[in-house]
């Protein structure tokens, strides 16, 4: 089956009891045990496993062409589970990219999890920088986020995987901004592909969920599965059901996100109040060629810097009418966000930078909205 077909059929079937075409929502937390002690359908208690979660995990495994998936209550729960699941017999050293989702830095800087690991950052868009970081000490895990949030840097997944393999390190790709439609990290050799399902896969800004898809069986995957039910940061059945509903239109939605983003990026790129546009679909983006080789399209997320000072950027964010000034990405609505004021002291985002998540509205309306907001600075 091809992607679009799997997105609708993988992990699901017509309900054998009622003939319902859409997957029923199962809210029961517990399942009946037979006289012989077995559980007829393999479900015992919903934290351990349940029909909606199993369907979603099977679907995501099929979409990422992996071996198995483990879902969590949020993207951050998935991220912390992956980091904590690094086997003890591997070097407890993690290399992170220099631009990545800010929540990971908060996790590692402000909780005990970070103190248990030696954390190093490298500019992975410069492979020599990564090679030097790997050579200096034994490394257990290399984290990749591409395109990165919010500076939209591009990392060559296959090149990082080859460095990691030589060093015996595990590679994890946060594939949230690319989605499994546009980029398949496991086929490029990565060990795990991770998603904030909250974003494009859910697609409607109405659920919170995270997922990790493994390329193959491993002690780390077993740790993740145990972490899921033993620590219990599991997604609700309803969120799994919503994610399964959302994923069916993922491919169709991504076509509109990508075509709209391309038009907006070209518009901003020619605007005299805009200093720089970060979108991998632009030929002048330093990661354009790599993005073109490892992605089938360039996504719906971009950032741009306005000319002038932070106040000018804030004024644009405050005067748009169709874009909503809100955090997050990947929903039907378009969002604009001044990341520096959200991320505060630890931010690496320039203070004139605005991040856009281009939604599914008419792109002419979006362009006119940005034009009117930019005309005010
Ligand atoms: N990864 C990326 C790239 C994100 O943008 C986010 C959230 O913005 C996360 C992970 C965390 O996901 P969640 O908000 O579902 O915990």
pLDDT at position 313, please?
A: 98
Q: Is the CB of 200 under 6 A from ligand 1?
A: no
Task: Answer whether 235's CB lies under 8 Å from 53's CB.
Answer: yes
State both tokens at 41: 């359908």
pLDDT at position 41, please?
A: 86
pLDDT at position 352, please?
A: 98
Q: Please, which pLDDT band fits residue 262 given cuts at 50, 70 and 90?
A: very high
Atom of ligand 1 nearest to the CA of 104: 10
pLDDT at position 344, please?
A: 87
> How far is residue 152's CA from residue 288's CA, in Å, rounded to a whole number?
11
> How far is residue 321's CA from residue 105's CA, in Å, rounded to a whole number?
32
Q: Is the CB of 76 under 6 A from ligand 1?
A: yes
Residue with token string 């281009």 = 358
Say whether 327 sits in a helix, a strand or coil.
Answer: coil
pLDDT at position 348, please?
A: 86
Across residues 246-266, what is the average pLDDT?
98
165 is catalytic: no
Q: Please, which pLDDT band fits residue 345 given cuts at 50, 70 and 90?
A: confident
How much of the chain exceeds pLDDT 90, in percent?
97
Across residues 5-14, what is the average pLDDT?
97
47-96 pLDDT tens trace: 999 999 999 999 999 999 999 999 999 999 999 999 999 999 999 999 99
Across residues 14-18, what is the average pLDDT?
95
Average pLDDT, the chain: 97
309 is catalytic: no
Q: How far is the CA of 76 from the centre of ligand 1 (A)?
A: 6
Which residue in 6, 31, 101, 262 is the catalytic one?
101
Does pLDDT of 343 surpass 90?
no
Q: Is the CB of 198 under 6 A from ligand 1?
A: yes
Across residues 102-121, what is the average pLDDT?
94
Does pLDDT of 158 surpass 90?
yes
Does pLDDT of 165 surpass 90?
yes
Residue 111 φ then ψ, to 5°: -130, 170
Q: How many residues does the chain have?
A: 377
Give the residue with greater pLDDT, 352 vs 344. Answer: 352
Q: How far is the CA of 29 from the centre of ligand 1 (A)?
A: 27
Does pLDDT of 279 surpass 90?
yes
pLDDT at position 91, please?
A: 98
Q: Is 91 left (phi over 0), alpha (psi -120 to 50) or beta?
A: beta
Cβ atoms within 10 Å of 335's Cβ, excluding its own: 22
- CA-nearest residue for atom 2, ligand 1, is 101
353-377 pLDDT tens trace: 999 999 999 999 999 999 999 999 9
101 is catalytic: yes
Across residues 155-166, what is the average pLDDT?
98
Task: Answer whether 114's CB lies under 8 Å from 143's CB.
Answer: no
**3-state SS record for 229-287:** HHHCCCCCHHHHHHHHHHHCCHHHHHHHHHHHHHHHHHHHHCCCCEEEEECCCCCCCCC
Domains and CATH numbers, the chain: 3-245 (3.40.640.10), 251-376 (3.90.1150.10)
> How far is residue 231's CA from residue 47's CA, in Å, rounded to a whole number?
10
pLDDT at position 73, please?
A: 98
């Amino acid at each position: 089956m091809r992607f679009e077909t799997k997105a609708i059929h993988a992990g699901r079937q017509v309900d054998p009891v009622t003939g319902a075409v859409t997957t029923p929502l199962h809210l029961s937390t517990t399942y009946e045990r037979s006289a012989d002690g077995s559980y007829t359908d393999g479900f015992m208690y919903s934290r351990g496993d349940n029909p909606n979660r199993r369907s979603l995990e099977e679907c995501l495994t099929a979409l990422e062409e992996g071996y198995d998936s483990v879902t969590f209550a949020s993207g951050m729960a998935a991220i912390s589970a992956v980091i904590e699941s690094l086997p003890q017999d591997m070097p407890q050293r993690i290399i992170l990219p220099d631009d990545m989702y800010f929540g990971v830095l908060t996790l590692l800087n402000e909780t005990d999890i970070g103190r248990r690991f030696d954390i190093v950052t490298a500019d992975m868009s410069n492979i020599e920088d990564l090679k030097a970081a790997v050579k200096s000490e034994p490394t257990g895990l290399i984290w990749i986020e591409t395109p990165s949030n919010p500076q939209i840097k591009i990392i060559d997944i296959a090149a990082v995987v080859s460095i990691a393999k030589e060093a015996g390190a595990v590679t994890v790709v946060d594939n949230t901004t690319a989605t499994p439609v546009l980029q398949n990290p496991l086929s490029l050799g990565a060990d795990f592909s991770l998603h904030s399902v909250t974003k494009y896969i859910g697609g409607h800004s109405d659920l919170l969920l995270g997922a990790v898809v493994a390329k193959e069986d491993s002690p780390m995957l077993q740790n993740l599965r145990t972490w899921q039910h033993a620590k219990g940061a599991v997604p609700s059945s309803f969120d799994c059901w919503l994610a399964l509903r959302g994923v069916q239109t993922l491919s169709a939605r991504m076509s509109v996100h990508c075509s709209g983003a391309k038009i907006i990026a070209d518009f901003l790129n020619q605007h005299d109040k805009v200093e720089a546009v970060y979108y991998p679909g632009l030929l002048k983006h330093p990661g354009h060629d790599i993005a073109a080789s490892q992605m089938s399209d360039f996504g719906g997320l971009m950032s741009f810097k306005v000319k002038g000072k932070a106040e000018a950027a804030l004024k644009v964010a405050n005067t748009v009418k169709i874009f909503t000034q809100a955090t997050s990405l990947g929903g039907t609505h378009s969002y604009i966000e001044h990341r520096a004021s959200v991320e505060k002291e630890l931010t690496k985002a320039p203070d004139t930078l605005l991040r856009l998540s281009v939604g599914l509205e008419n792109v002419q309306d979006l362009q006119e909205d940005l034009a009117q907001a930019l005309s005010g600075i």
